[in-house]
Amino acid sequence: METAPVYDHQKLLELAAMRMPFGKYAGRLLIDLPEPYVIWFAQKGFPKGKLGDMLSTVYEIKVNGLEFLFDPLR
Number of domain units in the chain: 1
Three-state SS at 74: coil
CA distances from 45 to 2, 18, 40, 71 (A): 34, 19, 8, 27
Residue 8 has pLDDT above 90, yes or no: no
Residue 1 lies in a domain: no
Residue 4 lies in a domain: no
How many angstroms separate the CA atoms of 7 and 50, rounded?
Answer: 17
Residue 3 lies in a domain: no
pLDDT of residue 4: 54
Average pLDDT, the chain: 90
Question: Domain range spanning residue 47?
Answer: 9-73
Cβ atoms of 27 and 20 closer than 8 Å: yes
How many CB atoms within 10 Å of residue 62? 20
pLDDT range class, residue 44, cuts 50, 70, 90:
very high
This prediction's pTM: 0.84
